[in-house]
Chains A and B, each alone.
Chain A
Amino acid sequence: MTEVSVASTGTAISTSQIPIVDYLRLGDRPHLVAHECTACGARYFDRRNGCARCFGTQFRTIDVPTDGTITAFTIVAVAAPGVPVPFVPAVVDCDGTKVRANVINVEPTPENVRVGMPVRLATYVVGRDHDGTEAIGFGFEPVGA
């Protein structure tokens, strides 16, 4: 959890923030990190028991580039109860590392999202718990948005 100062009506208030997932790093330059297999270079975002590609068990943490390209997407119009629609799940290729994320800050129509589109990481507030802690989510927005 990170403590950040948020300027509001001229008064500094201390707000606690937590990333939606542990592979999102907050701070001045929010970015994703991956577990990279030290033997073969395969990259993963979840807690690992080993490498699915080479069976190695040593990993290092690497920063994932924040710019990428959409290689697949959909526009979900029907989802489970409580999940707001529409939203735009996508696969984003960040200089060789595939990332799963929503495309955000875009009109969710087939005219406004396309495969091959350049995008960059962006964060937003997902919600707040009873302690006032903000959960910070991420997505990718069109470059120039």
Chain B
Amino acid sequence: MTDDVWILGISMTKFGKHPDLDIVDLAAQASQDALRDAGVSMSDIGVLAAGNLMGGGRLGQNLQKQIGQTGIPVYNVTNACATGATALRTVIMAIKAGECDMGLAVGSEKLSGAGLLGAGGQAKAADSAFEPQGRFGAVTSLDGRIGTDTMPGVFAQIGMEYDHKYGGATFDVFARISEKNHSHSTLNPLAAYTKRLSLNAIKNDVMIAYPNTRPMCSANCDGGAAAVVVSGERLRRMDPDQRRRAVKISASVLTSDPWSDGCQILPDINTLTRNASEQAYKAAGVGPEDLDLVELHDCFATAELVHYDNLQLCKPGEAVDFFESGATWRDGTTPVNVSGGLQSKGHPIAATGIANVWEVCHHLRGEAGDRQIQDAKVGLAHVIGLGSACGVHILERAAA
């Protein structure tokens, strides 16, 4: 019943520090580049979904005021670190529903110098009386007293939990995952960091939350990314060059946490990712062994390891062996995060879930230059927002 949906044009800004650009500038730059890449204009766009997490809302309308007010429906989207993927999926759903045949999804974020994310809670004023408040009846802030809400601390525990279940997930393994991504980014001119880091430099850097040192954490930075999505029916009436460069969205899946034991104590980022990948492989009719490259949500080195397993790139419990085999390096059997990933390319939150699709498209189109994965035909892009939301997109090169 539903027609195919395709990426017609896609773009990301340079990730890094953009002191002179605000979130609208970054969104505008990415959107105008994506429209140019698609060979269309705002007058072709029937729906706009705009993702931003930290900027206060209404990015979509503010963006329209800079690049084109055409009266189309706008969806302002927030969904933690899955915000960009959710914006993309919102446009895909509108096209699949037949509301329009072309749409624009954009994500933009300013995070340079944002520091530690997730650290909340007010310190109790010393002279006030203890009074139970909130869902736990807490008399003071709990962060640091009953565990932690900081992202590095949460994702560190998730990696250690994998070690408890299966063994072998040592500090050294996690550091070498980071070494891989910091090596990959040396070939990516749009990455926030393009400097290769030695294993010793990574291990001896500032410890944030054991076993994650600073370079093993995602890099807070500024950036934008945007995609023009088109229906197969409309694409068939377009120019041969547009059709040749179009990338098929073979699966677009969003999941949240199903209840699992202990999931309200430590977030279970595994089950919803496994569910999303299963749904995506089924929808696309491909398996993990068919993937030529994977961009997965390595918000921390500890997260990348568990997602090898969750995305079924390896057998259950064998993520360490899989990494040790060299499979996930860019010359391996399943290259993972050849962009440098969130640890080195950077993680401007709302842009991330479109920028990873851009990376995959770049390879499928054969336009990735020095870091091109040869003859890439199928790729997968994954994000997870803690809380949780997981987005998985499987993309395929257009038939020649």
Contacts and interface: CB of A to CB of B under 8 A. Distances in A.
A74 B157 contact: yes
Interface in B111-161: 116, 119-121, 123-124, 126-130, 132, 135-140, 142-148, 150, 152-153, 156-158, 160-161
Given A91-B265, A98-B261, A46 B145 contact: no
Contacts of B261: 42, 98
A80 B121 contact: yes
A61 B140 CA distance: 23
B137 A127 contact: no
A126 B261 CA distance: 29
Given A20-B138, A74-B153, A130-B128, A91 B143 contact: no
B208 interface: yes
A21 B123 CA distance: 15
B136 A76 contact: no
B207 interface: yes
Select the residue from B120, B127, B157, B158 with max chain A CB neighbours within 10 A.
B157
B264 interface: yes
Contacts of B266: 72, 91, 98, 100
A75 B210 contact: yes
Size bin of chain B's contact surface: 35 or more
A137 interface: yes
Contact of B136 (A22, A42, A89, A129): A22
Select the residue from B130, B136, B146 with max chain A CB neighbours within 10 A.
B130
Contact of B119 (A83, A84, A130): A83
B164 interface: yes
B210 A110 contact: yes
A80 B139 contact: no
Interface string A32-57: 00000000001011110000110000
B209 A72 contact: no
Interface in A60-107: 70-80, 82-85, 87, 89-91, 98-102
B369 interface: no
B4 interface: no
Nearest to A137: B145
Interface string B247-267: 000000000000101101110
Nearest to A1: B130
Nearest to B127: A130
Interface in B214-261: 259, 261
B136 A21 contact: yes
Contact of B160 (A19, A115, A133, A135): A115
Contacts of A85: 144
Contacts of B144: 76, 79-80, 83-85, 87, 102
Given A115-B160, A115-B163, 10 more contacts: A20-B142, A47-B137, A52-B264, A74-B152, A75-B210, A76-B150, A77-B206, A80-B144, A102-B146, A126-B140
6 contacts: A74-B211, A76-B153, A90-B157, A102-B146, A115-B163, A129-B129
